[in-house]
Amino acid sequence: MTEKTEKTAAGHCRSAPSLSPDIDAGWAWVIAGAALAASAISSAVYYTFSMYFPLLLNEFKATRSTTAWVGSLNNGVYMLAGPIATIFIQRIGCRWTVMLGGILSMIGFALSSIAPSLIMLFFTHGGITAFGLCLNYTSWIVAISDSFVKKHAIAFSLSQSGVGLGVFVFGPLFNFLIDLYGWRGAFLITGACTFQLTCLGALIFPPREPAKNENVDFESFPLNVNDKQGEKEEKTYSDLIEPQVTVDDYIDGTQQLKGTDYSVWLLHLSSFFWLLATSIPYILLADYTRSLDLEE
């Protein structure tokens, strides 16, 4: 019995269904749990910049619009660098991409904690930190897709629930750190938190190869009647057994969307404007609240 194969976007020939014990089970759930924790850390950084915004205003004495560029660049690079992150994933894989993202995020926060001006924060927090988080975010989406088929929706929902968990847990924690160590100390400790993304990324392993079936009934194979002039076709053991599905030949069971479909590009465009609009309140909300003399 031969299995139907098709070409994927990456150009690899994959086969369905996979027989790997790590698809929809086993280590796949460890990856889903790690994705939840990584999503919590990333979302905490993404949605809590407004807590630092008034402090940066007082520190550098710049205008609100100039200071807001720090958070705006962070949010913009976080999402716009997605195509670059996919290149890293194709080159070095999800595991190393996540680990690289954790290291870059830590470096970005460490440099931001000693930034003497907003210009440096533009490059450190708005550039290095955001790009590291983008590598992390994009890689976990691909890792979940590679580890789940039938339970992909459940696993992806579980991993994205880390967004709410991160805001709920790290919001008060960052506020406590700011009160205790100031924004520079809080940045440094946050960098240590983002370094944990490297440890979580180390948990991403490719699914194991399916177990090979060693029980072969050679009597079920008919004799070769097409031998010519006594020449017998030699058949090896691997020719007689049923071809196995490898992990590299795996393809998920979801329907592949074509890039030329206008609905796909419409979905991308709508998501872009939605993210563009929803990121603004998280940057300016805290300062606007203080300008109204509201109680904290």
Residue 26 falls inside a structural domain: yes
Higher pLDDT, 106 or 222: 106
Residue 220 falls inside a structural domain: no
Q: Which residues of 253-279 are buried (b: 16+ CB within 10 A; e: fewer)?
A: eeeeeeeeeeeeeeeeeeeeeeeeeeb
Residue 15 falls inside a structural domain: no
Q: What is the pLDDT of residue 274?
A: 67
Domain residue limits at 44 = 22-208+251-291
CATH number at residue 196: 1.20.1250.20
State which H helix or E strand residue 175 sits in: helix 152-201
State which H helix or E strand residue 225 sits in: none
Residue 233 falls inside a structural domain: no
Q: What is the pLDDT of residue 240?
A: 42
Of the pLDDT bands very low, low, confident and very high (cuts 50, 70, 90), residue 47 is confident
pLDDT tens figures, 1-38: 444 444 443 333 333 444 566 787 788 889 999 999 99
Q: Which residues of 95-107 are buried (b: 16+ CB within 10 A; e: fewer)?
A: bbbbbbbbbbbbb
Instruction: Supply the pTM of this predicted model.
Output: 0.69
Residues 124-132: what's their mean pLDDT?
92
Higher pLDDT, 289 or 204: 204
Report DSSP letters for 123-159, one per residue. HIIIIIIHHHHHHHHHHHHHHHHHH-STTHHHHHHHH
Q: What is the pLDDT of residue 23?
A: 82
Q: Provide the strand spans (E) within the chain.
A: 5-7, 13-15
